Chain A
């Protein structure tokens, strides 16, 4: 697979604050790429530079084969962006909003009408076209934001915390649409999120801390590197667990044992076959990875 985004040596400073420091990353075509970091880690700065909203101090950004410095318009046509908060015009109807935005890409008349009906079917907002955006619910508005980002059929969809504040049903709907788009149109998705379960679904994850990459890899690689495994053990007495001399915690109807990796879990089970009658082994979570890699907890974007 080709790299559709390549960033090399990217630096950006705001006064005394080095927002992005020598950032290098590659995103492969068609993959779901997750960009994690607390607020102020440099995610939005990087995205803003990629979108041409912000100048860079150093480094190069190549997107869809075009260099940001020489062909920003090509890059703008390749990117569809769903901002953290909706930036559509609240006073205008859904159709007016999408019509004005489509015109920015030269899509008008019959081309716009056919694109609009395709998106309305895909994102299920045919009945919302005549309603002002300001009168829509959070979930409905998010669907329109995604439709706006997809108007010009971009090759890369940037989602900046797209599901924050949405109900589980709408989150599911959005993820179904995004998954569908990736499959059908080979669309690359560049995601920033605070939901670790969303990051865990990504093909590749980059964790950013103070403008630098703190960790990167597939979710499995990250979990293997930065977190251990857990064995949840049911139907045993605490004395028996204590005797195994491993770190554990009591949960409602079981004990959760922490082990360095799956091999260590296997060894422990083989050593105490009498105790391990009802159990399950799980990998560490992305939260643990994030905590290990940055020393910080990611909850709602704030450092904990």
Chain B
């Protein structure tokens, strides 16, 4: 236990002290923020307003909360995965710099190393994402707060679950990498690509039908939907209180990916949790098996 604790401490210190690695992890959320500030926020706001039933108006605060909920759900959903990839790149960097040799010449089990990378990456990502979540809540409180205590708790659970998912996925992928070049390549692909395929940059409902079907096989999509559901739930409820027709609200939920469909069949929130939780369990099992199968050359 002392060994694992020491390794986790070392890994986390390295991640937070390596400015390159730390700031790279923040690139995707930063891009999202810039996109929303520069034009996406306005695009969504206009879209919300034009899609309201004729003659129906919503207060500014509620509109702000809807756009804000969309923004924070995208940022949180993407950050949990991209940051976990970046923090978990330490296991690759250790191979690239040769530091791994200094760890494995000691009487340390491979499983202890694997666990320490996983937990360190998980904790580092959670620290950043929870800090980001607090900032997001602060932002919502300023522009329009409609979240209930249950929504906040659910969002916390979503972030933890998505981080577990991102860390497990990155542990498996990073396990097969060994050079700085591979880190850059995978880092770029994940940073730029994950936002699109999880529906953070653009709602999945705006993609073509074929692509939507493909994306419905990716578990991360359901993670984003969970975060979106809980970050917009309060505002959507408030729309209902203002007398917005349920059909219009449902259309709105479809458009924002709060409702997801697997080959036209609606996926409920408990099922989304099951998919994400099951995927985490499956990925962790694969990671453990890979680590066990790894034999000395």
Contact = CB atoms under 8 A, between A and B. Distances in A.
Contacts of B102: 83, 87-88, 101, 148
Contact of A53 (B97, B104, B107, B108): B104
Interface stretch (B13-21, B36-44, B132-140, B206-214): B13-21
B2 A91 contact: no
B10, B14, B102, B108 — most chain A CB neighbours (10 Å): B102
A85 B297 CA distance: 22
Interface residues of B, number: 25
Nearest to A79: B105
A221 B75 CA distance: 72
Nearest to A51: B105
A73 interface: yes
B297 A76 contact: no
Interface stretch (A1-9, A103-111, A196-204, A247-255): A103-111
A104 B103 contact: yes
A96 interface: yes
A89 B90 CA distance: 11
Contact of A91 (B6, B17, B98): B17
Nearest to B108: A104
B293 interface: no
A87 B99 contact: yes
B98 A87 contact: yes
A108 B2 contact: yes
Given A83-B102, A101-B106, A152-B106, 5 more contacts: A53-B104, A54-B296, A55-B297, A104-B103, A108-B2
9 contacts: A52-B296, A55-B297, A76-B106, A79-B105, A88-B102, A92-B10, A100-B10, A106-B3, A148-B102
Interface of B: 2-3, 5-7, 9-10, 13-14, 17-18, 97-99, 101-108, 295-297
The 6 closest A-B pairs by CB, nearest first: A103-B6, A104-B106, A100-B10, A73-B107, A55-B296, A87-B102
